[in-house]
Amino acid sequence: MNDLRIAIAGAGGRMGRMLVEATLRDAEATLAAAIDQPDAVVLGKDAGELVGLPCGILVSSDRDAGIAQATCLIDFTRPEGTLEHLEICRRHGTAIVIGTTGFDAAGKNAIAAAAEDIPVVFAPNMSVGVNVVFKLLDLAARIMNEGYDIEIVEAHHRHKIDAPSGTALRMGEVVAQAFGRDLRQCAVYGREGVTGERLPSTIGFSTIRGGDIVGDHNVMFCGLGERVEIGHKASSRLPYALGSLRAARFLSSRSKGLFDMQDVLGLR
């Protein structure tokens, strides 16, 4: 049996299904459990059948039993669900990869506290491409640290419930940090009416929601006479799932600690 025994929370969701498929196709991983809500339509179904790969693991709402079977839980659900799963992982000593976005400060603190006991990867975007973009943004911001206005535009599918995306916020944090600013003090979330002239120290965010857009992010450094754009477009959720499995593998040799995809990919 493989040492990498993966439980997937939110197994019937958009990311959950992609994670089930990626886990079943991964020769080094075993799908140990598929978890979803007590009222989920997928409950009792073969998790693999949802993605055309029957595997004998039934989707269950028994989170305790599912997490106990696994060495790592991969969780792409909602903040309130993730925080409950986190505590169960803590009780069982199970590692957790958290892809869920939209946590408030208290939620982020709870994740940091749990990481004192168990290994955690917590990242708003698991794709290799986006994590390389974070590095490029840091480099660009260190050089273009004066005379450039920063505007971040993100677009996602009509079902997304949080805005701006976790990835857009992290992009803002990366740029703000390189500028020596605090994003909480300089972020501007959308504009309407007579806004007055743009303040030079601000970082603007614009959000588009529509159709089945998987995830587009574009950061503009707008100067006088030139504009640099650094962005990423996802055309599939597969990179998020493959990154999550890479993160689970990374955690298998750790006993505790809080990490993100920059650690997993060796980009620190």
Ligand X SMILES: NC(=O)C1=CN([C@@H]2O[C@H](COP(=O)(O)OP(=O)(O)OC[C@H]3O[C@@H](n4cnc5c(N)ncnc54)[C@H](OP(=O)(O)O)[C@@H]3O)[C@@H](O)[C@H]2O)C=CC1
Catalytically active residues, by annotation: 156, 160
**Alpha carbons 161 and 8: distance in angstroms, whole number:** 21
The residue within the footprint of ligand X, chosen from 71, 94, 125, 206 (CB under 6 A), is 125
Three-state SS for the chain is CCCEEEEEECCCCHHHHHHHHHHHHCCCEEEEEEECCCCCCCCCCEHHHHHCCCCCCEEECCHHHHHHCCCEEEECCCHHHHHHHHHHHHHHCCEEEECCCCCCHHHHHHHHHHCCCCEEEECCCCCHHHHHHHHHHHHHHHHCCCCCEEEEEEEECCCCCCCCCHHHHHHHHHHHHHHCCCHHHHEEECCCCCCCCCCCCCEEEEEEECCCCCEEEEEEEECCCCEEEEEEEECCCHHHHHHHHHHHHHHCCCCCEEECHHHHCCCC
The residue type at 21: E
Task: Please report whether residue 206 would count as binding ligand LZUJQKHR according to CB under 6 A.
Answer: no
Task: Please report whether residue 164 would count as binding ligand X according to CB under 6 A.
Answer: no
Q: Is 11 annotated as a binding residue?
A: yes
Partner interacting with residue 131 (select from ligand LZUJQKHR, ligand X, none; CB below 5-8 Å by kind): none
- Closest approach of ligand X to the CB of residue 193, in Å: 29
Task: Please report whether residue 76 would count as binding ligand X according to CB under 6 A.
Answer: yes
The residue within the footprint of ligand X, chosen from 21, 33, 78, 181 (CB under 6 A), is 78
Q: List the x/- string, 20-39, binding to ligand X by CB under 6 A.
A: ----------------xx--
Of 127, 131, 117, 128, nearest in space to 254 by CA? 117
R_g (Cα) of the chain, nearest Å: 19
- Closest approach of ligand LZUJQKHR to the CB of residue 162, in Å: 6
Partner interacting with residue 156 (select from ligand X, ligand LZUJQKHR, none; CB below 5-8 Å by kind): ligand LZUJQKHR
Task: Please report whether residue 244 would count as binding ligand LZUJQKHR according to CB under 6 A.
Answer: no
Would you say 5 or 160 has its CB closer to ligand LZUJQKHR?
160
Q: Is 100 annotated as a binding residue?
A: yes
The residue within the footprint of ligand LZUJQKHR, chosen from 63, 78, 85, 160 (CB under 6 A), is 160
Would you say 98 or 175 has its CB closer to ligand X?
98
Q: List the x/- string, 90-119, binding to ligand LZUJQKHR by CB under 6 A.
A: -----------x------------------
Maximum Cα–Cα distance across the chain? 63
Task: Please report whether residue 125 would count as binding ligand LZUJQKHR according to CB under 6 A.
Answer: yes
Q: Given the rule CB under 6 A, which residues bind ligand X?
A: 10, 12-16, 36-37, 40, 76-78, 80-81, 99-102, 123-126, 166, 240
Please report, in range form, the residues annotated as the binding site for NAD(+): 10-15, 36, 99-101, 123-126
